[in-house]
């Protein structure tokens, strides 16, 4: 009996110590808001981006896309923008997340490059697990972003800076970019694979899902704007890419940003812009948006 009481006291002591540390960690996050720049893997980074959108004050302009538009330079995006694009992810995942929160943005900027890619049902189910997802709004320590290891790796223990809207750098107006900045051997290998993929018929199995979600937001009064991220010119001018654009334009009457001049940007693998080109295109993207509304 005495042994049972002794063990119970030890377990009880451990429990209350853990609870105290957990509450203190939540207070620390609320007060200091550490800026997280390092994640343990791609899945965790994507989940953290999604949770930041779910639990933070909402921006009126939302970008949804794949890893291509995830390359947009966050230091250049205004505070009124949130980039809900996922590495290895899809437009459908972003649209479904926005819908499940019940938020209606003023404008949605929809990347078209990989618009028919499947959504991540696993990620969406994890983000919106019944009851639990609402609890995480009040206990940020449970959010993927604030795992202690991420805080340690980021070495930023107290910051009021939102990771989507960091301080703007005093960078150049444009970077000079060239293929000398990339791994040519890797580039050639990836281009060979991408050319083979672009030679196949366009997969439009998710067209109905895209139509359903786009039309949902249109009915709620959201303005839809389509855009295409720059990719290698050889891929951008393939029959598959041209057919994709034609299908989208035939179904949706929403405006497009002008197609980029693909020759002005450099990709690391045929699809993903180098950091310099991503910086340049982000500026061009914002200028195109400004011109779109100035013309009206």
Between 23 and 197, the higher pLDDT residue: 197
> Mean per-residue pLDDT for 208-222?
98
Report d(CA 106, CA 266) in Å as an integer. 32
Nearest-5° Cα angle at 68, 292 to 211: 65
pTM for the predicted model, two decimal places: 0.87
Report d(CA 146, CA 166) in Å as an integer. 17
Nearest to 54, CA basis, from 101, 121, 124: 101
Residue 176, SS3 per DSSP? coil
> Mean per-residue pLDDT for 222-231?
98
Going by the DSSP 8-state scheme, the letter that residue 115 receives in this structure is T
Going by the DSSP 8-state scheme, the letter that residue 4 receives in this structure is H
Instruction: Note the pLDDT tens digit of each residue in 155-168.
Output: 666 665 544 544 45
Nearest-5° Cα angle at 72, 66 to 73: 150
Which phi and psi (to 5°) does residue 267 adopt? -110, 155
Instruction: Note the pLDDT tens digit of each residue in 274-290.
Output: 999 999 999 999 999 99
- Evaluate if residue 113 carries a pLDDT over 80: yes
Domain ranges across the chain: 39-156+201-295
Mean pLDDT, all residues of the chain: 89
Report d(CA 90, CA 110) in Å as an integer. 10
What phi-psi label fits residue 85: left (phi over 0), alpha (psi between -120 and 50 degrees) or beta?
beta
Local confidence band at 47 (pLDDT 50, 70, 90 cut-offs)? very high
CATH-assigned architecture of domain 39-156+201-295: 3-Layer(aba) Sandwich (3.40)
pLDDT, residue 37, reads: 81
């Amino acid at each position: 009996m005495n042994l049972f009481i002794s063990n119970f006291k030890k377990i009880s002591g451990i429990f209350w110590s853990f609870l105290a540390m957990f509450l203190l960690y939540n207070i620390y996050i609320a007060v200091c808001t550490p800026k997280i720049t390092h994640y343990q893997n791609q899945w965790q980074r994507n989940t953290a981006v999604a949770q930041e959108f779910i639990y933070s004050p909402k921006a009126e302009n939302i970008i949804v896309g794949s890893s291509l538009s995830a390359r947009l330079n966050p230091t250049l995006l205004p505070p009124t923008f949130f980039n809900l694009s996922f590495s290895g992810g899809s437009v459908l995942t972003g649209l479904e997340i926005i819908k499940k929160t019940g938020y209606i943005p003023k404008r949605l900027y929809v990347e078209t490059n990989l618009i028919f890619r499947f959504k991540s049902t696993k990620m969406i189910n994890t983000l919106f697990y019944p009851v639990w997802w609402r609890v995480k709004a009040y206990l940020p320590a449970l959010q993927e972003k604030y795992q202690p290891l991420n805080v340690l790796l980021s070495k930023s223990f107290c910051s009021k800076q939102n990771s989507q809207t960091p301080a703007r750098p005093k960078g150049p107006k444009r970077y000079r970019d060239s293929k000398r900045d990339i791994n040519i051997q890797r580039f050639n290998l990836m281009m060979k694979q991408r050319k083979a993929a672009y030679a196949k018929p366009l997969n439009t199995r998710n067209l109905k899902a895209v139509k359903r979600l786009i039309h949902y937001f249109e009915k709620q009064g959201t303005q839809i704007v389509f855009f295409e991220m720059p990719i290698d010119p050889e891929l951008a001018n393939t029959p598959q890419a041209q057919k994709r654009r034609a299908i989208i334009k035939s179904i949706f009457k929403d405006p497009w940003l002008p197609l980029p001049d693909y020759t002005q940007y450099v990709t690391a693998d045929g699809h993903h812009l180098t950091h310099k080109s991503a910086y340049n295109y982000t500026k061009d993207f914002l200028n195109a948006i400004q011109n779109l509304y100035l013309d009206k």
